Each structure stands twice: as structure tokens, then as C-alpha cells.
A and B are shown apart, each in its own frame.
Chain A
């Protein structure tokens, strides 16, 4: 399998501050990465699709000005939660897509647990 890292693994911040989460594909190049959010005992929710060198595509209902995504290189995407509030507390998981000929596989990072106090 391929390796996707995520940093930090957990973070506690105060309401109103911003938090940046990094996602890296360690052993493959990922032109496309994805950001998910998952609340306890709920399904994965896709927040946005991040494409290297272009603007991210956000899912309906996700505020692009609040969740800033930058895909600066083929191995790095960042998610910045701006002006965080307690309701933003969640498990944020990135995922990277590895293309293989006419197919692909998608690998997840270990996730970042965000708590906003």
C-alpha cells in the first residue's frame, strides 16, 4: 500500500483562532487529494477535492472561506480551518489518490482530531 501522512494528529485551539493541517503523500505523487470530516459514529463526509495547482472544489454546504485548501505540490495539501468554533471540532481526514494505468486507489492519512474550546 501507499503511505499518506497527516500532521498534527491532534490539536486543541481556542475559539476564533485558525488551525492548519498538513497532508503528505510520502511514496507517490498525488495530483488529487481529498479532505473529509467525520463526527463520532457517523459516516465520512467529503468536504472538498484538492487538485495540485488549481483551486479546490468544495462540496455543497462547505464554506470555502472557512476551510481554506492549498495543494501546493504533488505531495502536499493543506487545510486551514479559519476562525474555528466549537462546532468545528471533529476528526479531519485527508486522502490521496494514486493513479495506476486506467485505474486508481485512494489512501487515507491517519486523521487529525481537532478540538475547539
Chain B
């Protein structure tokens, strides 16, 4: 069973802090990894894709991938209350099938 594991949280950080979200995956054949943000009552929104080991930065977001450790993370710098949402980690298998984690709830306190 191919799985993507995330801590369900909630993760609570003060406004302006760095929020660190973590994820592990079981399928060593996974080549593509994604972070989605889902606000309550809304559908998921793709915020980051990462395919190679290392860091990928986009604005306040940095995705980190370590294939040897089968670990993916998302850092959110200067966290804002509007970042409060559930963050879904996902891994793409060799057949382009996406396996989603259950999500981590993030609360950013003003």
C-alpha cells in the first residue's frame, strides 16, 4: 500500500513566524511531489510542485525534498492569518497516480 503520511495537527504558529509542515512517503518510485492548500469548505489549490532533491522557493513558500529519506516539507515564511488552512502533501507514482496525505491543519494566530 503506497502511502503519504502527515501529522494531522493542528499546528499553531504566531503571525510572522515560520510554519514547517512535514510529510513522508512510502513509494521509493515516486518522482513528483506536491503541496496543496485547502481552505475550509473549498477545494484544494496547488501551491508547490517539486521533482528534484533540494529546495524550491516560490515567494514565502519553500518546498524541500529528500528522496533518500523519503521526506518532503513545506516552509511558510512570515506566516499570515490568511495562511490558516489544511495543507495536503501528495506524491506522484510512476504511473502518474497521485497519492494524497490526510492533511495538516495550520492555524496562524494574529
**Chain A residues close to B by CB (< 8 Å):** 1, 32, 34, 43-44, 49, 91, 93, 97, 99, 102-111
Secondary structure dominating the interface of A: strand
Chain B residue at minimum C-beta to C-beta distance from A31: B96
Least CB distance from A94 to B in Å reads 9
Stretch of B40-48, B67-75, B76-84 that contacts chain A: B40-48
Q: A108-B44, A109-B43 are in contact. Are A32 and B49 (CB under 8 A)?
A: no
The CA-CA distance from A105 to B92 in the complex, in Å, is 9
List, in ascending order, chain B residues with CB within 8 A of A104's CB.
32, 92, 96
Q: In the bound complex, do residue A106 and residue B43 qualify as a contact, i.e. CB atoms below 8 Å apart?
A: no
B108 within 8 Å of A (CB atoms): no
Chain A residue at minimum C-beta to C-beta distance from B96: A104
Chain A residue at minimum C-beta to C-beta distance from B98: A106
The CA-CA distance from A109 to B44 in the complex, in Å, is 8
Chain A residue at minimum C-beta to C-beta distance from B97: A49
Chain A residue at minimum C-beta to C-beta distance from B47: A1
List, in ascending order, chain B residues with CB within 8 A of A43's CB.
100, 102-103
- Per the 8 Å Cβ criterion, residues 84-100 of B in contact with A are 88, 90, 92, 96-98, 100
Least CB distance from B58 to A in Å reads 11
Q: In the bound complex, do residue B46 and residue A105 qualify as a contact, i.e. CB atoms below 8 Å apart?
A: yes
* Set B49, B51, B88: member contacting A44, Cβ < 8 A: B88
The CA-CA distance from A90 to B64 in the complex, in Å, is 34
Chain A residue at minimum C-beta to C-beta distance from B92: A104
Q: In the bound complex, do residue B103 and residue A103 qualify as a contact, i.e. CB atoms below 8 Å apart?
A: no
